[in-house]
Amino acid sequence: MTEARPQAGQDGPAPPRHIGIIMDGNGRWATARGLPRALGHKAGAEAARRTIEAAAVAGVGWLTLFAFSSENWQRPVEEVRDLTGLMRVYLRAEVGTLVKEGIRLRVLGERERFGPDTVRAIAAAEQATAPGTRMNLNIALSYGGRGEIVAAAREAARRVAAGTLDPAKLDEALFAGMLFTAGMPDPDLIIRTSGEQRISNFLLWQSAYSEFVFQDVLWPDYGATHLAAAIGEFTRRDRRFGLRIA
């Protein structure tokens, strides 16, 4: 990664503080080229590397990449095996670069479903990158927005049953603190690639006031130019948050 570190807003509008990306199109990219889907996922990992670098250079503080949904477990066994293997390789290979660049990694989702080897790789990567302050990188693995909300509701119910939470005191802020993203800012901008225009169970609670940009590019072809275009679209919008009538 480059060492250039421009200050957000120095030469124009500030970038979004937090960007979430639904990385879609690996399979279609591979199919269009007559390649195995596994090579599409490998190319997608390279696109993730480029996009992380571009976000850091742009001054984005938080980046959340939707890498593996809870629904992805329903894919063919061979594809799931290829995906999880690629994730383990990526975690181990990229840790040194993330540490050098000051990027802190966190994994959101039900990591235990991946097995002990992957869980250990995740924990090691999170620990090694914890001192990073340049950018926060979230990777959503075995993640689903509905499941996240249900898990938070179960935690709230557990606290009520234990007598440590008065139901009358449960508000949005307290509930948000029980989500995977506790302590993180909500995404200002959510991007989806491949031309699809849906959010596919991604950050449902957190995206209540997010801006959405849908880009007609398959994820393996994504890079700095596409991210800059999405950020440019974001900065041109007037975000009212329901506070005034146009």
Q: Is 25 annotated as a binding residue?
A: yes
Which of the following is catalytic: 72, 186, 201, 221?
72
Six token digits for residue 23: 């990385």
The answer to whether 207 is annotated as binding is no
According to the annotation, is 27 in a ligand binding site?
yes
- Alpha carbon distance 11, 19 (integer Å): 20
Q: What is the DSSP string of 123-184?
A: HHHHHHHTT--SEEEEEEEEE-HHHHHHHHHHHHHHHHHHTS--GGG--HHHHHTTSTTTTS
The pair of structure tokens assigned to 162 is 């234990």
Sign of CA dihedral 140, 143, 146, 149: negative
Any known ligand binding at 92?
Answer: no
Is 115 annotated to bind a ligand? Reply is no
199 labeled binding residue: yes
Residue tagged active-site, from 11, 24, 136, 201: 24
Does 211 carry a binding-site annotation?
Answer: yes
Residue 155 annotated as lining a ligand binding site: no
72 is catalytic: yes
Residue 62 · residue 139 · CB < 8 Å? no
33 is in an annotated binding site: no
Is 142 a known ligand-binding residue?
no
CB environment 217-242: b (16+ within 10 A), e (fewer): bbbbebbeebbeebbeebeeeeeeee
DSSP-derived 3-state class of residue 192: strand
Binding site membership: which residues? 24-29, 37, 41, 69-71, 73, 75, 192, 198-200, 211
Binding site membership for Mg(2+): which residues? 24, 211
Catalytic residues, which ones? 24, 72
Binding site membership for substrate: which residues? 25-29, 37, 41, 69-71, 73, 75, 192, 198-200
